[in-house]
A and B are shown apart, each in its own frame.
Chain A
Amino acid sequence: MATKSIAVPGERARAASTTPKRRWRINSDMLIAFFVLLPSILAVALFIYTAIGWTFYISTVKWNSQIIDYTFVGLRNWSRMFSDNRFYADLRNLVYYAIGFMSQCIIFGFIIASLLDQKIRGETLFRTIIIFPFAVSGIVTGVAWRWLMQPTTGINLLFAKIGLENFQPVWISHPDYGMWAVTIATSWQFTGYVMALYLAGLRGIPQELREAAAIDGAGTYATYRYIIIPLLMPVTFTAIVLTGMNSIRVFDVLASMSGSGPAFATDTLAFFMYQSTFGAYRYSLGATIGAFMILLSAFLIIPYLRSMRDEVER
């Protein structure tokens, strides 16, 4: 059936209950649905899939200066990318960043959501305060944290004031740990969003389950360990996919915070792509990096879509 991939669960159930022999006919509902969806389908096809296709195409041509050159060169840009040390530095940074960013967002997001879920007074206020950084643009976050992490001012000044004169990290400009420092800033921005996801999930857990657990003698730890955390697995999964995607494409915070950093300490694939394209005018190399990022994202998004489908079918 042509509409299978976008069928909603209700429709699918109805389709299954009707006799399979019935002929597929266009009725007015379908026509209306089609025309209502048409603008979105066209927009998505044009601005997303055509652009993706174009990116892959540009990655196979010789356009590596400001003079547009569509000479086909096969996989030469790809082999160029794979032979570049910067690319491997970026992959390493991606791993660092993903670990730091995802774990901070998910752990702190969950802890804060659990605390807010304790029916405390002023919950709305705290919720707003914590989710607020998510409303701040990445550029603003980057600039603000850049100053906070300036070794001679910002946070280090606070450390010095409380007697930690000898603890003066260089944060983002550290050649080895710079990337971890960056994740502090980006997690600060994104934790509120993960918190909101978890809070919604926590509110969806029936009170009876907790009560039942309490009656069975489960303490707080056991309740979380055996009831709440397993029930929140779908939320955690969503949070992993969202923060994972974010890790691959992170650009704005980094660009305004540290750029590529000392010897690529805080370089990312997205920044490499940007600099190759608009700094060195290597359009095809930039497109190749972009295409690689799309493939990398697909590894995350396809299992996610699969599981969503399984979820729906369940």
Chain B
Amino acid sequence: MSEPTNGAPPRRAGPIDVELWPSALSARVVEPGPVPRVHGYDVEADLARHYSFAEIALIALTGSAPERSHGRAFEIALAFLAPVPVSEAPAHAAGLARLIGADASGVISGAAMGLAERARHVVAAHAELVAWLDAGSGPPPPSVQSDDPEDASAVARLREALGEAGAAFPLLEASPTRMAALLGVLHGVGLTDAPRLEAALSLAALPATIAEAFAVKPFAFFTYPMDLPAFRYVEAADG
């Protein structure tokens, strides 16, 4: 029971006060301390010398160190996923935030939030693909196949880059869309659930999205197409 000092009646213990709670926060991935470790691997003496930044991200997300070909495949997929142009909402919003004077923290958190929402939307739209990848058999769902030549070219470049790294993913032979192919690669290197796929999509695009926003000049209002798209106000009675 806590005793107020201002003459008010004493407060009675509430439900949080009487429950027995753990006395410490649990750390499950990053071991804090002078020798920081990720999933047991020494970051400074081991991972920093033997693994790329992207591979360390993959270790963090999967819990184990990847084979070289999988590490390289992950890097290639992240590279393909890195550019999110200003036409897409996350980069547009981050740039608009910069225009109206957001500081770096505001731009970065806005970009991260927008990219996380975009990733959630993309992965949800590919739920059928993820289920097929989990099952690991049968033909891929028609919804992720494409006869668009731009998709075919991108997938061919992806296949070529992966081939140089010694990595092959069967989905790439089935005329997938560009995004389906990339999700297939991410799934193949161990990111097998929606949260981890969303994490990879968000991480990949964050640097270029932030950079696009940082390139905007704050308060240069007349450089921004304020009436694009053109919102047209209609009153309810106008239909």
A, B from the same assembly: no
Q: Which residues of A contact B (CB under 8 A)?
A: none
